[in-house]
Structures are given as structure tokens and as C-alpha cells.
Structure 1
Amino acid sequence: MDERLSVAPVVPRFAAAIREVAAVTAFYAGGSIGSGDYRPGISDLDLVAVIAAPLTRARRDRLRSLHRTLGVAKLHCAYVSLPDISDVSRKHVNWAHERMFRRPLSGISRAELHQFGVTVYGPSPAELVPQIGREELATAARAELRGYWTGAVRRARVWRTDLHVDLGLTTVSRAGVTIETGRLITKREAIDRLPALGVPDDLTDEIRRRRAGEPVELTEPQIRARAVVARALMREQLTRLLG
């Protein structure tokens, strides 16, 4: 077993549990597990199951029941059918946020599998998942920014939350590198380059501490002030990256 999976032993157990239920051909762990940036209890588990054929209703029902029985928090798994794997726009069954829905396996997720993916079983990502070119990757990064964050900057109140501040600023930091150089970076690297984007040192340190699992207590005036700063920085970076 790849030693990178030792930080999340639930992954190989989950991969084994769904293998027959979903007729899985290959199973990968992507995201922070592969990049070495995984933080137990903090990071999401970003998983991809390549399946022999689209899921039937009966298999979907069995999978939904299995996910609920296992009850693994922060586990996200895309079920990508092998016959449709070359179509980036095709929507696949996904489990995330305790529910099942459909969405595409994005260009960013595909590129992460090639760069960081850990093969739990089956052929490697290079053998099954088509490569994403630099221009396609930049387009995918811009699409992720437009898909949620351009709307989020219009809503002042959401920037009071740690989630929006941390995820928003690290997302634009990562996206900027991908768009400008065609390279994927980890969240740790994204946090390190926040001061270069104009993020104050104290806010960068706050985000880094939360990423490490440390509690950070703020007063109400500090939360309000932080929201103004974070929202303004997000608007500035989105304008720069999206034109």
C-alpha cells in the first residue's frame, strides 16, 4: 500500500467496501492525500472510483446506503464511468456533504490525479484518465472561480466565516499559479504566497494556524474588519484573474 495512505486508513477500507457494489475498475485518492498536505479531521477526502459502466438505480441505492452506514465525515467520492471518462463535461454520480448528486469530474480534479493521485487499486491515472493541456487547465481554473466565488463576493455576510476567508483566499492563490504557469500547487504553498497577493501577515498566520488545527479566537470587531479585508482582496484577485 502507498505510504501516503497511512494518514487516512479509512480510504483503503472504503475502497474495498465499494469495489463490488459499484463494479469499480480503479480507485484513486487525490487532493491533499496525494500532495502530502492532508490534515486529519480538517482536510476533505477527495476520492475517485472509475467504474465499468454507469451506475444503475439499484447500485446507486446500495451505494447511498453504504455511504450512510459508514458515516465518514468529509468523504467525497466521484463515480466516473470508464466509457465516459474522456468527456470532461459529462456529469457523474458523486457523494459529498452527506448526499448523492451529479457533477462533472473537473479539469482541475483530473490534473490533480495525474500530478498527485494515489492508486489504491487498478491501473494508474495515466492509463485511464486523459491528460489535461495547459490551456484547458487554465480554463478549468477560471471556471471554478466563476462558478462560486464571483457570486460569493457579492454577499458581504459570508465573509464573516472562517470557511469563506480561508478557502476563498487559498483558492485564488492556487488558481493564480495554475492560470499563469499551468502548475498545480498545494494549499500549504498557496498559504505561503498569500502575502505576495496583499494578504496581511496576521491574516496569513491566522489561516495557517487553522490549517494546522489550532483554534483561533477573534472578537466581533476583528471578525467585521477581517470580512472587509478578505472580501476586498477576493474582489481584486478575481478581477485580475478573470479580466
Structure 2
Amino acid sequence: MRRPVTPVTRRELFDFGLVLYGEEPAALLPPVTDEQLAEFVVQDMESFWLPSLDHPERWDRDIWVDLGLLTLARATVTLRDGKLITKAEALSVLTELGAPAEVVDDIRQRRYGDPGPASRRWIARRAELTLTFLRPAIEQVVSQWPPRP
């Protein structure tokens, strides 16, 4: 499988990469400007995450809930502050953005706690809550780019 090194990955390598062997990232990859990073983040929200909301069956899976919400939070901070944050930091941002608290708690518990099995009823409710929150949140992120003076 071949995958491009995205602007987000390049920025992570430049900002946080630890070289154990070989050359520094700057010797191998071009740097990423703040504008390039922001453009990529908005394009990803618009071309990948927004259309994914039209497939409700996906949102019964933990990975879609986790990555959809965490990506939104991380994108929001990148566009607002020009910096990258961890997935753990994104959980607090989700709360600030008004994401459903019970879904944020569910993500936190599954990632960092001992959640036990989820009921079909909770999985369906979690999907509904996530989709209801994500669509307007992503649309807002996309509509606010590029920023107007």
C-alpha cells in the first residue's frame, strides 16, 4: 500500500520527530507552511469527513466515532491556533466545542480506561449523538475557511 505523507504528518515530523537513525526530516521532506496545513485540514474535513456522515452504518463502529470527533477537535485547534494537539488533548477541546458529554466520556473510557462491552442500544445512541453533533460542527469549520479579515 502506498500512502502520501500528508501535510499533518510532515508537520508532526518537523515539530515532534525524534531521529533515531538517519537524516532529519528537513533533509527528506519539504516543510509545511501554516497555510498549507490549514488548507489540508479544511480539505480533509470537506472531502472525507463530511461525506462520511452520509453513511450512518459506519458510525456504529468505535473507530469512526473516535477519529471523527477527535479529528474535528484537532482540526479546530490547528485552524484557530496554528498548532497540532494530541488525541488526548482533543478530548478537552471536544467538551469546549459542545460535543455530547456522554460520547466524549465513552471515548475517554475506551481509550484510557476499562469500558467493558457496549450494548447495542448505546452503540446506536452514540452514533446518533455523534452524527447530530458532527455535521453542523464540520460545516462550520469548512464555512469559516479561508478566514475573512
Q: What TM-score, normalized by structure 1, do the two folds share?
A: 0.55
SS at match of 1:171: helix
Q: How does 1:130-169 map to 2 (within 5 A)?
A: 130-169=30-69
Structure 1 unaligned spans of 5+:
1-99
Contact 2:77 2:84 in 1 (8 A): yes
Deviations 1:160-186, CA, capped at 9 Å, x for gaps: 111111111000000111112211001
Q: Distance in 1 between matches of 2:61 and 2:23?
A: 41
User: Which protein is richer in strand relative to its size?
Assistant: 1
Q: Distance in 1 between matches of 2:42 and 2:114?
A: 31
Larger Rg: 1
Higher-RCO chain (CA-CA 8 Å, sequence separation at least 6): 2
Q: Distance in 2 between matches of 1:235 and 1:139?
A: 19
Q: CA deviation at 1:143?
A: 2.2
Percentage of pairs with the same residue: 37
Q: Partner amino acid for 2:64?
A: H
Q: Distance in 2 between matches of 1:120 and 1:213?
A: 31
Contact 1:206 1:216 in 2 (8 A): no
Q: CA deviation at 1:213?
A: 5.6
Q: Counterpart in 2 of 1:170?
A: 70
Q: Partner amino acid for 1:142?
A: V
1:220 matched to 2:120? The reply is yes
SS at match of 1:104: coil
Structure 2 unaligned spans of 5+:
144-149
User: Which protein is richer in helix relative to its size?
Assistant: 2
Contact 1:209 1:216 in 2 (8 A): no
Q: What TM-score, normalized by structure 2, do the two folds share?
A: 0.87
Q: Distance in 1 between matches of 2:93 and 2:116?
A: 21
SS at match of 1:188: helix
Q: CA deviation at 1:107?
A: 0.8
Contact 2:34 2:82 in 1 (8 A): yes
Contact 1:160 1:227 in 2 (8 A): yes
Deviations 1:212-239, CA, capped at 9 Å, x for gaps: 2633432222221111110111101110
Q: CA deviation at 1:208?
A: 0.9
Q: Distance in 1 between matches of 2:113 and 2:96?
A: 24
Match of 1:182 among 71, 78, 82: 82
Give structure 1 regions of 4+ aligned residues with deviation exceeding 4 angstroms: none
SS at match of 2:3: strand
* Alignment RMSD: 1.6
Q: Counterpart in 2 of 1:113?
A: 13
Q: Distance in 1 between matches of 2:5 and 2:86?
A: 19
Deviations 1:49-71, CA, capped at 9 Å, x for gaps: xxxxxxxxxxxxxxxxxxxxxxx
